[in-house]
Structure 1
Amino acid sequence: MAQHDHVARPGAGADTRAGDEAARDEGTQDQGTRDAAARDEAGITTDYAAPRTGLEERLVRLWESALRFGPVGVEDDFFELGGDSMLAARVQLDVDVEFGVEISAAALFLSPTVATLAEAVDEALRSAGAGV
């Protein structure tokens, strides 16, 4: 057996790595296409906007679980996504448990996007922290 049989040649595996990256990029593009198709099929009129903060990410997960739909963008309207008063009550309870603060029953009606609800939750968290 030759002494150098176990040594990789320069560039060996480069095609594999390039192929892996291309497949990963294609998979990401496919997922994006599927997500866009799901949003179109559901009749969502807003463009997808990704969560910008950890609080928004947590709210998105709660909404996706309650609505059984994803991806939810931070500017999507809860009721346009299929939410109703029963799901709003569930999300209210989920938010109360997840964040340890109470939001009003009307919160989703007054703040029907993740972005605006995040502001309400943030305000409740600050008020709770201030002892108010």
Structure 2
Amino acid sequence: MARQLDVSLFRKVCPDALGASYQESPEPTVHVSTSGNRSGVDIRAAFRRCYGVDVRRVLFVRGLEWPADGWCDQGAALADGSPEAPFEYVYTQPSGPLEQALAKFWEELLEVPEVGASDDFWEHGGDSLGAVETIEFLAQEYGARIGFFDIGDNFTVARLAALVHERSRP
């Protein structure tokens, strides 16, 4: 089911959004076309800030445009031959105590309301100092010996939890 929302709020926060559509079922989903390099984390946070809705999926598609009166009709845009979504962001709940603790640590460190298991540290605005703080936290709390260069580009809660399990003191 599509819902009409005041597009002006979202366009102020995401001026590079060329068009978007929101669906409530089967799960809260935003389909979006942008002219910039926004991440799914950015779109999800902007949507929460504008409308108070916790979107679980962000699908990046081509061909969506803003109609004069608000949100576009995603079904029509995708039915006209637009390609499949080239990128999809799906919020994944942290599982187990370690992932939950890491997510909570990042929420406080990065000052973001909710971090999922597949959310990337760098996409949430993390920097090298925050990465070092994370490494120190893991060493103190879990005895994990993780170096800065072990982190790499795929710095997610799930991957970090796997590294902690692999490198924790017995």
TM interval, short-chain normalised: 0.5 to 0.7
Mapped to 1, the partners of 2:89 and 2:124 lie a distance apart of 11
**Structure ranking higher in helix proportion:** 1
Instruction: Provide the C-alpha distance between the structure 2 equivalents of 1:75 and 1:106, rounded to a whole number of angstroms.
Output: 19
Answer yes or no: is the 8 Å Cα contact 1:51–1:57 preserved in 2: yes
Higher relative contact order structure (alpha carbons within 8 Å, sequence separation ≥ 6): 1
8 Å CA contact retained: 1:111, 1:117: no
Structure-2-length-normalised TM-score: 0.48
Letter in 2 for 1:122: H
Counterpart AA for 1:99: Y
Structure 2 unaligned residues grouped into runs of 5+: 1-27, 29-40, 48-57, 59-87
C-alpha displacement of 1:123: 0.4
Residue in 2 that maps onto 1:79: 122
Using the TM superposition, give the Cα deviation of residue 46 of structure 1 relative to its aligned residue in structure 2, in angstroms: 2.4
Q: Confirm or deny: 8 A CA contact 1:75 1:113 kept in the other structure.
A: yes
Runs (5+) with no aligned partner, structure 1? 1-31
The structure that has the greater radius of gyration is: 1
Runs of 4 or more above 3 Å deviation: none
| Mapped pair 1:70 → 2:75 | no
How far off its partner does 1:100 sit?
2.1
* Residue number in structure 2 paired with 1:88: 131
Higher strand share: 2
CA contact (8 A) 1:74 1:113 kept: yes
What percent identity do the matched residue pairs reach?
33
Q: Is the 8 A contact 1:78 1:108 kept in 2?
A: no
Is the 1:60–1:73 Cα contact (8 Å) retained in structure 2? Answer: yes
The number of aligned residues is 92
Q: Specify whether residues 119 and 47 from structure 1 end up closer, same or farther in structure 2 by C-alpha distance, changes over 3 A only.
A: same
Q: In structure 2, which of residues 118, 123, 143 is the aligned counterpart of residue 100 of structure 1? A: 143
Instruction: Provide the TM-score with structure 1 as the length reference.
Output: 0.60
